[in-house]
Amino acid sequence: MAPVTSLSHSVEQHLTSALSATLPEAAGADPLLRRSDRADFQANGILALAKKAKANPRELATQVVSHVVTGDLIGEIEVSGPGFLNVTITDGAITRNLAARYADADRLGVPHSAAPGTTVIDYAQPNVAKEMHVGHLRSAVIGDATVQILEFTGESVVRRHHIGDWGTQFGMLIQYLDEHPHELDHKDSQVSGEEAMSNLDRLYKAARRLFDADEEFKTRARRRVVDLQAGDPHTLATWQKFVDESKIYFFSVFEKLDMEIRDEDIVGESGYNDMLAETCRLLEESGVAVRSEGALCVFFDDVKGPDGNPVPLIVQKSDGGYGYAATDLSAIRDRVFNLKASTLLYVVDARQSLHFKMVFETARRAGWLNEDVKAHQLAFGTVLGKDGKPFKTREGETVKLVDLLDEAVERATTVVREKAVKVGLSEPEIVENGRYVGVGAVKYADLSTSAVRDYKFDLDQMVSLNGDTSVYLQYAYARIQSILRKAGEARPVAHPELELAPAERALGLHLDQFGETVHEVAAAYEPHKLAAYLYQLASHLTTFYDQCHVLSPDNSPEVVENRLFLVDLTARTLHLGMALLGIRTPDKL
């Protein structure tokens, strides 16, 4: 299907032509069109143009109006205030545009990006042999939604999960497993994610006890770190067992999150080991990095410590070891030169902003980032408890991600079960919908908040049917499906000849903004704006329900069909928009 030009863009084109006819030197000027509560749209650009042309803005606006053709698209246009233009769209234009979107079942008329590129996105970064906690939630949820949105707009997206799978702590684990070789044996049986994490936790605690109590074991463990870094085959094979066991656990958690994580997309710290020495050599030979007290460092004029002295980015330590910077810079080289990325996107905690600022600047100095290849940190804030403090258990420990998700699903299932009889849900449907509602509630609470802000984790509010929650949106979708089932032989059909009620117009105009919203969200990496759009859509739908009964016997067949068409397109838009956020929309709720 061909993409559909939005009503706002069509009006903008009409106004741009009228501006050019009135003031030739203003050719191509932005009329600054916005939605308005005084009309369908308001154009504010004439004030700036009049000032530049030293003309009276109201008189200029009047001349522009005289060049605007009204009829099929623009019903009315008038000058308001000092020189604003208030534009009202015809009812027929609204319905025709929505009908064109309705005909495109897959994309609802949303065009692909005019200039797609290749984005490598780094998100969902758990650590091998460690439990995932609430801190991992935001990177995974924000990253997954961003992937869906970018791919929908036509961007080529390469996923990268930069797991923590390297470092000195593995010496202790490898040595212990080498001396207790059957600790991770599964005897060909399937192991659940919970069992895998239990195995890793048990092994880690046993290795730590021995490491703290036995000096000879501690010496052997430290020697193992050297063997690991040197690429000793036996040591690497033992290390791989920890990685494989951890992946069983990772995949089980991501499955709970209703999120696809592919094995080929997991490239951890170890994946860049062979590049570290060359990265350091290139930086040193180019003068980007210099030796300071034996360490290879990059200095910045604007990064100083409390004592006023420069704080460097340490790429290689004085003992020859490599820090996180060396790995991150090597990853940039790989993503730019091997994966041919035009954008590098990092969904990483805001507390690491200084590190990434220095890494990106180092890569720019080295020539790996430039005008054609950009890097951006999609920084996110902290998950807080109801008390406004970092989210912890009652014992003060970090909340396990699986526990949080299980509780969300349990609460949501209770909510679903309360309405199950009314909508005729079977027990399997109650369980399935409870999962979709619970996980959706957690995701939406995160995604409906600007990523950089902290947010409070409140499950009671998250699973509420009222307010800005995913349950409210899911319920709106399910309610439409119920209407469509009750419609009998009546079918959704657009009738452009019909006059629209105010609530129908408001709903229709908002529906037409979906494509523009998605592209704005993709360009700025701001999923919360898509969540806000969908919440507003559901709110318009609620007003529509109250003011425009769909299946009323007092309606003519054409009105019934047109209103079924409006609610069906609303359902499709909710379904697609929620899917881009990684949230399911059950047909019954």
Q: Which residues pair with 368 in a beta bridge?
A: none
**Distant-in-sequence, close-in-space partners of 185: CB < 8 Å, separation ≥ 6:** none
What string of H, E and C letters represents the secondary structure of 13-51? Answer: HHHHHHHHHHCHHHCCCCCCEEECCCCCEEECCHHHHHH
The whole-angstrom separation of Cα 45 and Cα 48 is 6
> How far is Cα 221 from Cα 224, in angstroms, rounded to an integer?
5
Specify the pLDDT at position 190.
Answer: 82
Give percent of the chain above pLDDT 70.
99
Q: What is the pLDDT of residue 187?
A: 66
d(CA 171, CA 158): 32
User: For residue 46, how many C-alpha atoms fall within 13 Å in the half-sphere facing its CB?
Assistant: 29
What pLDDT is attached to residue 188? 63
Q: Can you tell me the mean pLDDT for 93-103?
A: 98
The one-letter amino acid code at 228 reads L
pLDDT of residue 494: 98
State the Cα–Cα distance between residues 296 and 318, nearest whole angstrom: 7
CA distance 345 to 212: 40
Amino acid at 530: L
In this predicted model, what pLDDT tens digit does every residue of 55-70 receive, in sequence order?
A: 899 999 999 999 998 9
pLDDT over 90 (residue 584): yes
Q: pLDDT > 90: what percent of the chain?
A: 82
β-sheet bridge partners, residue 266: 161
Query: Given this model, what pLDDT does residue 86 score?
Result: 96
Query: What mean pLDDT value characterizes the chain?
Result: 94
Chain segment 378-397, per-residue pLDDT in tens: 999 999 888 888 888 667 77
If one compares 376 and 189, the residue with the highest pLDDT of the two is: 376
pTM (two decimals)? 0.94
Quote the CA–CA distance of 11 and 6 in Å, as a whole number.
9
For the segment 322-351, the average pLDDT, to the nearest whole number, is: 96
Q: Binning pLDDT at 50, 70 and 90, where does residue 184 land? A: confident
Q: How far is CA 300 from the centre of its chain?
A: 32
Average pLDDT over residues 368-378: 97
- pLDDT of 579 over the 80 cut: yes
Q: Please report the sign of the dihedral spanned by the C-alpha atoms of residue 256, residue 257, residue 262, residue 268.
A: negative
Q: How do residues 116-128 score in pLDDT, each as one tens digit?
A: 999 999 999 999 9
Nearest to 91 by CA among 498, 494, 492, 493: 498
Residue 254 CA to residue 141 CA, distance in Å, equals: 10
Which of 16-30, 256-270, 339-353, 360-374 has the least mean pLDDT?
16-30
User: Would you state the pLDDT for residue 321?
Assistant: 86
